[in-house]
Amino acid sequence: MKVIISHDVDHLYRNDHLFDLIYPKLWVRSTIEVIKKQYGIKEYFYRMLSPFEKRRNRIAEVMEFDSNNNIPSTFFFGMENGIGMNYNRSKAAEMIKYVKDMGFDVGVHGIEYRELDNMCKEARTFNSIVDNLDFGIRMHYVRFDNEITLKNLDKCGYIFDSSEFDKNKGFLIKKPYKVNNIWEFPLTIMDGYLPPKIEDKIQNTKKIINDAKAVGLQYITILFHDYMFSNGFDTDRKWYLWLVDYLKENNFEFISYKDAIKELEGQNE
């Protein structure tokens, strides 16, 4: 079984959220979580202070870690703002080029998942930044309409999507499939849907991976948000560090979406 790891870029810089409710919601939610003893006071302290840091993203740190562990991860960037994602287009373009120049794949973190014109607008905007590079997409908040999302994404020219996810179960064990010219890689594990405590995160992750292996799944896809690679989200960072070690110790192979597509296309010939 091979593992595809990706990172959704929800935040870039502090000033992107000066006029929305991201920070008040963070403070309230974090206070409730620490009262429930989901993590410790030190992590809570760093999380409460995190909105005052100029840089909200941890893209450089994640790239360094992934590179050191030979993980060909993909970073998804928003081309439109909405649902808590709000960053400057020119700064986003700079970051996309930086990540691409560092040898990592980049894709779109989509907002529109139903209306064709707006979906294609996001693709065109991204295409103008990456200079006609084949790319894929994951919808923000993994929004997905079974009837129309993939058909429209295919019309917009995307080569893959990785948005299908079971929010009720908190995971999805399902093999990749193709609709017209686009591949769907269902999202197996997403950091935000794991239990809050580190020991529960680990046990839950092991179970999902073992269940996927038991049914002969060829690829599993894992999402870790880059901003969590920080002191304010130390529990999540520890989970990701453990995850990579666990996958390496158990001889799983890391692969990119694009290389997985090449393998799948070869199998279909």
For the chain, percent of residues with pLDDT exceeding 70: 99
Radius of gyration for the alpha carbons in the chain, expressed in angstroms and rounded: 18
Residue 156 has pLDDT above 70, yes or no: yes
In order of 30, 109, 123, 142, 144, the CA distances from 137 in angstroms are 30, 6, 9, 10, 12
Q: What pLDDT, on a 0 to 100 scale, did the predictor assign at position 150?
A: 98
pLDDT at residue 158 greater than cutoff 90: yes
Kindly report the average pLDDT of the chain as a whole number: 96
The answer to whether the beta carbons of residues 59 and 95 sit under 8 Å apart is yes
Give Cα 62 to chain centroid, integer Å: 12
pLDDT tens readout for residues 210-229: 999 999 999 999 999 999 99
Q: How far is residue 115's CA from residue 133's CA, in Å, rounded to a whole number? A: 23
pLDDT of residue 260: 98
Structure tokens at 24: 């008040």
pLDDT at 269 over 60: no
pLDDT at 51: 94
Residue 268 — pLDDT band, cuts 50, 70, 90? low
- 182 pLDDT more than 70: yes
- Over residues 162-166, the mean pLDDT reads 98
- State residue 218's pLDDT score: 96
The model carries a pTM of 0.96
Domains of the chain plus CATH, in order, are 2-13+56-268 (3.20.20.370)
pLDDT greater than 90 at residue 105: yes
Q: What is the pLDDT of residue 259?
A: 97
List C-alpha distances in Å: 31 to 25, 27, 235.
Answer: 10, 6, 15
CA distance 187 to 180: 20
Paired tokens of 168: 């009720």
- Report which residue type is found at 123: A
User: CA 126 to CA 129: how far, in whole Å?
Assistant: 5
With tokens 């080029």, the residue in question is 97
Q: How much is the pLDDT for 132? A: 79
* 55-94 tens-digit pLDDT: 999 999 999 999 999 999 999 999 999 999 999 989 999 9
What integer pLDDT is reported at residue 133 of this predicted model? 85
Q: What percent of the chain has pLDDT over 90?
A: 96
Question: Shortest CA distance to 64 belongs to which of 56, 73, 52?
Answer: 73
pLDDT bin (cut points 50, 70, 90) of residue 40 is: very high
Residue 267 pLDDT greater than 80, yes or no: no
